[in-house]
Chains A and B, each alone.
Chain A
Amino acid sequence: MSIFDIEIVLIAVVTAAACALPGVFLVLRRNAMISDAISHTVLLGIVLGFFLVQDLSSPWLIIGAAATGVLTVSLTSLLERTRLVKEDAATGLVFPALFSIAVILITRYAGNVHLDTDAVLVGEIAFAPFDRFILGGLDLGPRGLWVMGVILLVNLAFITLFYKELKISTFDAGLAAALGFAPGLIHYALMALVSITVVGAFDIVGSILVVALMVAPAITAYLLTDRLAVMLALSVAIGALSALLGYALAVLLDASIAGSMAAAAGILFGLVLLFAPERGLLAAARRRRLQRWEFAQTMLAIHLMNHEDSPQGDVENRVDHLHEHLRWDPDFTERVLQRAENHAWVARRPSGRLELTEEGRRHAKKVVTT
């Protein structure tokens, strides 16, 4: 493992962490697709900025691009407010238009520069170590690492400073406004952060991977915890893990690093989706299977309770008629009966009639009065 490998992995991990943080809020605020929109439109900001300053490494590019990200959000919002198109259509109209302008500007006027459309999508993290940050004649390491490191710190600082405001405005915008937290301002600040992160990560991992790194670790963490702070920490950890695994995969298969990282993030989500305790699919299926028997026995108890005093009780509360009325499979009915008897909720009389025990009645009453 060479120094280049280490540097690449470091950059990848820092990038993933920087993306995971705002990603959590995008997911919770149901605004995940805006990351897709912004990741496309920042290109326009970069291109226009480049035309102005003619320098690809100028900080103006980042500022301009971040501004374009925010512009995207406001244009989309403006369009939606005309009530002529719905919210999802507004998003789907604004960013492709802006992105198309950018692509055409590039291919027409900037084709001979490093900005080429494939890089836009994929970035090229493999080249990142070659782009050094030179200050006063000293080689301080890859520029990408510095840029993403600063962005990570900015994101971290923002989230720490405004944790309370972010939390409240995410879960209860009305309350936030009533408390004077200006949820609109927080929304745009978050969008600005997302834009800056996208621009920074752009050069390294390309626009689509930014979306994957923002969303995948966050939704994975969402399946594992209910607490915001834990979700943030977990997302960063999962993002970092995706970066590591992705790089390993890329080396193994000689494939694109960015693509492999996205794939790794996807795989991690898939694993958690299946195996998460409580929220995972397997756990849910197991729980449902158990509940099905519980449910059926409760249904039985309630049914017996409702009919025991009525004249139909003699007819309905019998083993043979049970499955007719409830429309249950006779086999299933028998098994439910046995379980209910084991619970001492139901007693089977020799006449074939079913009786609810005191325990059974208590249980049934408890269920229906909640």
Chain B
Amino acid sequence: MNVSSLITMLFTDYTLRTVALGAAVLGIVSGALGSFALLRRQSLLGDAISHAALPGVVLAFLLTRSKAPLVLVAGAMIAGWLATLLFMAIIRSTRIKEDSALAFVLSTFFGLGLALLTFTQRLPDSRQAGLEHFLFGQAAALMVEDVLTMSLLGGLALILLGVFWKEFKLLSFDRDFGASLGFPMAALDVLLTTLLVTAIVIGLQAVGVVLMSALIIAPAAAARQWTDRLGVMTALSALFGALSGLSGALISSLVPGFSTGPTVVLCASALVLFSLLLAPNRGLIWNGLRQRRSRLKLQAPESSVLKISTGLPGPAGGEAQGGGYEHL
């Protein structure tokens, strides 16, 4: 199949169009919110939330016997939020540290989800078929109503992100300062986390619980290498997310033997690798070349020592460094 026939198919084939649209939407939303998750060091929390969503999805089905997208998404959101609350409760009230609390919440919720899933699969109800696709995702199964739900919720999340943009920026960069200005930082934190949970749950059907968190982090990590402005980074991340989502979903729909989740993640990871190596300023290859060039120049001994020991640029007055870090 060549590119032109692929593009034609995109416009003519109804299923393919739906799949592509859904993948693009979830890519944009997860990319945009992933930027903030990355900056707030919530990568692993995203992993836990997405795994924890599984029992929510299955329970929602068991209680309502409906696989309507809104129902399943609601179940996923509630479970995701419960997991977050449990995580925060554990780290606030005991001496258990964040990584352990996350690993615990992730594995027990997910284990519960798997137990419920196998229980459901044994039921004579044929409607349960397809629930197991929430593990690794199946973009090909996306229906119009799914894409509508994703777009609605995702759109809402993006709008809220835009509306409270400066507040979220303040929250992510300097929470205490924001509090001193009078902004309710705790409430903003809850809101931003809710938006993150939303971004995660709308992608679960296509990408699956196991790998959704990678789609939150990878586009953002890739975007970070290309820019130093939050707005550009978020937009770029949304674009990368859409690209990964689209290519992953299309490949997985058209080529047999490719589950959507892993395919999307591989596309996103490729973007990350490319960005890490080749982005100007931060890219490793770029920095490698620049280092060779500057080794030929004479450098003041103290500033080199400073760089090696602290990784920070030398004191004021030194040549402005192009990249964020000297490659150690």
Query: Chain A interface (Cβ within 8 Å of chain B)?
Result: 26-27, 30-33, 35-36, 40, 79, 81-86, 88-89, 91-93, 96-97, 99-101, 103-104, 107-109, 111, 117-118, 121-122, 206, 208-209, 211-212, 214-216, 218-219, 222-223, 250, 253-256, 258-263, 265-266, 269, 273, 279, 281, 284
Q: A26-B100, A261-B111 are in contact. List 6 more A-B contacts (CB 8 A).
A: A100-B266, A212-B104, A216-B107, A254-B122, A262-B111, A266-B112
B213 contacts A92, CB within 8 Å? Answer: yes
Q: What 4 A-B pairs have minimum CB-CB distances, sorted nearest first? A: A262-B111, A259-B115, A100-B262, A266-B108
Q: Which of A31, A97, A121 contacts B99 (CB 8 A)?
A: A31
Query: In the complex, what residues of A have CB within 8 A of residue B254's CB?
Result: none
Q: Which residue of A lies closest to B42 (CB)?
A: A88
Query: In the complex, what residues of B have CB within 8 A of residue A91's CB?
Result: 43-44
Interface residues in B67-87 by Cβ distance below 8 A to A read none
Query: In the complex, what residues of A have CB within 8 A of residue B225's CB?
Result: 84
A83 contacts B214, CB within 8 Å? Answer: no
**Known interface pairs A97-B214, A103-B136, A117-B136; A83-B325 also in contact (CB < 8 Å):** yes
B92 CB, nearest partner CB in chain A, Å: 11
A113 CB, nearest partner CB in chain B, Å: 14
Query: In the complex, what residues of A have CB within 8 A of residue B46's CB?
Result: 92
B132 contacts A118, CB within 8 Å? Answer: yes
Q: How long is the Cα–Cα vector from A32 to B44 in the complex, in angstroms?
A: 11
Could you pull out 9 A-B pairs where Cβ atoms are within 8 angstroms?
A: A27-B97, A32-B97, A92-B46, A99-B262, A103-B136, A104-B257, A212-B108, A212-B111, A262-B112
B132 contacts A92, CB within 8 Å? Answer: no
B47 contacts A36, CB within 8 Å? Answer: yes
Whether a CB of chain A sits under 8 angstroms from the CB of B65 is no
B139 CB, nearest partner CB in chain A, Å: 14
B115 contacts A256, CB within 8 Å? Answer: yes
**B contact patch SS:** helix
Q: How many residues of B contact A (CB 8 A)?
A: 64
Query: In the complex, what residues of B have CB within 8 A of residue A255's CB?
Result: 115-116, 118-119
B262 CB, nearest partner CB in chain A, Å: 3
Whether a CB of chain A sits under 8 angstroms from the CB of B185 is no
Q: Which of A117, A212, A262, A284 contacts B259 (CB 8 A)?
A: A117
Q: Which of A88, A215, A250, A256 contacts B104 (CB 8 A)?
A: A215
Q: Which of B100, B106, B257 contacts A107 (CB 8 A)?
A: B257
B131 CB, nearest partner CB in chain A, Å: 12
B115 contacts A82, CB within 8 Å? Answer: no
A107 contacts B259, CB within 8 Å? Answer: yes
B293 CB, nearest partner CB in chain A, Å: 19
Q: Which of B42, B99, B100, B108 contacts A263 (CB 8 A)?
A: B108
Q: How long is the Cα–Cα vector from A211 to B109 in the complex, in angstroms?
A: 12
Q: Which residue of A lies closest to B217 (CB)?
A: A92
B221 contacts A32, CB within 8 Å? Answer: no
Query: In the complex, what residues of B have CB within 8 A of residue A250's CB?
Result: 115
B112 contacts A104, CB within 8 Å? Answer: no
B321 CB, nearest partner CB in chain A, Å: 13
A45 CB, nearest partner CB in chain B, Å: 16
What does the 1/0 interface line of B217-240 toward A look like (CB < 8 Å)?
110010011000000000000000
Q: How long is the Cα–Cα vector from A84 to B113 in the complex, in angstroms?
A: 35
Q: Which of B90, B107, B211, B284 contacts A273 (CB 8 A)?
A: B90
Q: How long is the Cα–Cα vector from A255 to B117 in the complex, in angstroms?
A: 9
Query: In the complex, what residues of A have CB within 8 A of residue B116's CB?
Result: 255, 259
Q: Which of A88, A215, A266, A284 contacts B41 (CB 8 A)?
A: A88
B299 CB, nearest partner CB in chain A, Å: 20
**Known interface pairs A84-B276, A118-B132; A222-B107 also in contact (CB < 8 Å):** no
B258 contacts A92, CB within 8 Å? Answer: no
Query: In the complex, what residues of B have CB within 8 A of residue A32's CB?
Result: 97, 99-100, 102-104
Whether a CB of chain A sits under 8 angstroms from the CB of B181 is no
A32 CB, nearest partner CB in chain B, Å: 4
**Known interface pairs A103-B259, A284-B93; A89-B265 also in contact (CB < 8 Å):** no
Chain B CB within 10 Å — which of A35, A96, A216 has the most? Answer: A96
Whether a CB of chain A sits under 8 angstroms from the CB of B110 is yes
Q: Which residue of A lies closest to B255 (CB)?
A: A108
